[in-house]
């Protein structure tokens, strides 16, 4: 399904989560960069007072910016909106796929009114569960239809057509996304680890240089130890290694589940198949959320 084919609450919570995630990571990145710049200004020890004063002023300016950014991170609570928005969006998405495939609680033999009422009640429960997000949601998006025309259109397909649609638009799409993200995080993890190793090595060389030339006005130790510490902090924030493992596991589990889809021929079998698949996707998200909250 297209993005706009999902309930308005999904679209609003997804946008709120992505926006909060972007703001949170950007502010932390700027925070780390300003600290690196402040430490970089001190690499040369000027003998004259005036140049020293200028360096101190600029260093203090960047440290002040860093302090202000830290306060923003603390007060704005972007991280909470990011996590809660993601949890709400994924819950709405899973519920939507169960609805359109006539899975558990949305069986094909139920009346239109029964299915519609239950779906709306579940969406309402989710909205109440995450009511703290309301101030971060775009009201115009949140009030879009709860059940879209596309959702009814797919639900009214026959069993084999619903099965094929689910495989192509949910399983394959999610599996490819997991695999791509797993390799992306693996590459990023290796790259940042190289930055950490290189900056620590340069810091060690700088110390050796100062031991040999103690009267030197150049001191790169502070700069590269700050770079190393910042890279470690960024790596912990992004959790590339943990995400790589989680995405790889989820992709493999979906692949094993998909291997059995040839035996799906009835509504009951499709309902069980969808339930297994959505549980696998839900486990990945639960693991991600747990890792982010550590």
Which is nearest to 168 in space by CA: 242, 83, 101, 123? 101
pLDDT at residue 184, as a whole number: 95
Residue partners of 256: CB distance under 8 A and separation at least 6:
none
Q: Is the pLDDT of residue 238 over 90?
A: no
Alpha-helix residue ranges (DSSP H) falling in the chain:
8-40, 49-76, 78-100, 112-129, 139-142, 149-155, 159-166, 172-212, 221-238, 240-258, 267-292
Separation in Å, CA 36 to CA 30, 42, 205, 238: 10, 10, 19, 19
Q: What is the DSSP letter of 215?
A: T
What is the C-alpha separation between 19 and 82, in angstroms, rounded?
8
Query: To the nearest whole number, what is the mean pLDDT of the chain?
Result: 90
| pLDDT tens profile 239-294 | 888 888 888 988 898 899 888 877 888 989 999 999 888 888 887 666 655 555 55
Q: What is the pLDDT of residue 64?
A: 94
Does the pLDDT at position 104 exceed 80?
yes
Distance between CA atoms of residues 30 and 28, nearest Å: 5
Global confidence as pTM: 0.86
Dihedral sign, CA of 288, 260, 276, 102? positive
pLDDT digits over 189-231, tens only? 999 999 999 999 999 999 999 999 988 888 899 999 999 999 9
- Give dist(CA 102, CA 95) in Å, integer: 11
CB-CB contact of 89 with 130 (8 Å): no
Q: What is the pLDDT, as a whole number, of residue 291?
A: 54
The pLDDT of residue 289: 59
Question: In this predicted structure, what is the pLDDT of residue 44?
Answer: 82
Tens of pLDDT, residue by residue over 42-58, are 888 877 778 888 888 99
pLDDT computed for residue 237 by the predictor: 87
């Amino acid at each position: 399904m297209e993005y706009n084919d999902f309930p308005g609450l999904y679209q609003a919570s997804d946008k709120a989560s992505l926006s909060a995630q972007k703001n949170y990571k950007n502010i932390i990145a700027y925070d780390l960069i300003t600290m690196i710049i402040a430490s970089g200004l001190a690499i040369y020890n000027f003998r004259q007072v005036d140049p020293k004063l200028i360096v101190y002023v600029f260093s203090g300016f960047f440290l002040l910016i860093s302090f202000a950014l830290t306060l923003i991170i603390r007060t704005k609570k972007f991280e909470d909106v990011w996590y809660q928005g993601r949890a709400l969006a994924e819950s709405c998405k899973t519920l939507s796929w169960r609805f359109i495939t006539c899975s558990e609680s949305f069986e094909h033999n139920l009346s239109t009114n029964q299915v519609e009422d239950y779906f709306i009640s579940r969406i309402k429960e989710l909205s109440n569960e995450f009511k703290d997000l309301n101030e971060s949601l775009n009201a115009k998006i949140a009030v879009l239809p709860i059940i879209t025309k596309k959702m009814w259109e797919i639900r009214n397909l026959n069993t084999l057509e619903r099965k094929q649609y689910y495989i192509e638009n949910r399983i394959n799409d999610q599996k490819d996304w997991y695999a791509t993200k797993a390799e992306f995080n693996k590459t990023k993890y290796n790259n940042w680890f190289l930055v950490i190793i290189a900056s620590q090595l340069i810091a060690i060389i700088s110390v050796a240089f100062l031991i040999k030339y103690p009267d030197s006005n150049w001191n790169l130790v502070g700069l590269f130890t700050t770079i190393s510490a910042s890279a470690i902090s960024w790596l912990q924030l992004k959790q590339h290694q943990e995400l790589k493992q989680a995405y790889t596991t989820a992709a493999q589990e979906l692949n094993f589940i998909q291997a059995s889809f040839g035996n799906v021929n009835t509504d009951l079998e499709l309902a069980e198949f969808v339930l297994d698949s959505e549980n696998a996707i839900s486990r990945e998200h639960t693991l991600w959320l747990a890792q982010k909250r550590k």
